[in-house]
Amino acid sequence: MTINNYNFAGKKAIVRVDFNVPLNENGIIPDDTRIRGALPTLKHILEAGGALIIMSHMGKPKGKVVAKYSLSQIVEAVSQALGTPVKFAEDCAKASEQAAALNAGEVLLLENLRFYAEEEGKPVGIDKEDPAYEEAKIIIECKLIAAPTVSKDEFYTQEGKDFLQGGYDEAKDWHKLVYGEITKIYIKK
């Protein structure tokens, strides 16, 4: 199955994009190539009757909330590029209600995933040599995208949510994902 033959009507698609765009001292985006590059996928989902939950990172805030890396600065640019208003979730780990309230054609941009150190696959409080380290990275990613603490496979099959993963194929590389060809569409069986 590809993005072109999947029925998004009435569904919420969680899409990881690379909106790590440059901003000048006035908050202007001098090069919006990354936003424009994601548009075909994002617009396709909206035109097919889906709702969008967009995830991205910006900069290297190292697990801290840093205003200059807030994705709130690009909401207007993303809205203009998509041709539709974009809602904003100020905390990517606490966006469940906003995501659940989305209707077809609506868009929610989550705050910078890297405001949580775990987004880069660095679980807090677990040693790298601990066998639980790898599973902790997967569970953390699920939490960051407004899902309860579940395994990776359980998350992918939650009712009404489809996760589009472009670029890399493994959970350990989620923080390196780029927009482009969709390599996975996880669908409730």
| Full pLDDT tens readout for the chain, 189 residues | 567 778 889 988 888 888 999 999 888 999 999 999 989 989 999 999 999 999 888 999 888 899 999 999 999 999 999 999 999 999 988 888 898 899 999 999 999 988 877 666 666 667 777 777 766 655 554 444 433 333 444 444 444 445 554 433 333 343 333 323 334 444 333
Cα separations (Å) of 41 from 52, 55, 108, 179, 186? 10, 13, 15, 8, 16
* Res 62: pLDDT: 82
Question: Could you tell me the sign of the dihedral formed by the alpha carbons of 163, 115, 73, 58, in that order?
Answer: negative
* Res 154: pLDDT: 44
* Res 138: pLDDT: 56
Which residue type, as a one-letter code, is found at position 162? D
* Res 31: pLDDT: 95
**What distance in Å separates the CA atoms of residue 43 and residue 48, rounded to the nearest whole number?**
8
* Res 85: pLDDT: 98
pTM for the predicted model, two decimal places: 0.72
Q: Assess if CATH 3.40.50.1260 describes domain 3-117+159-185.
A: yes
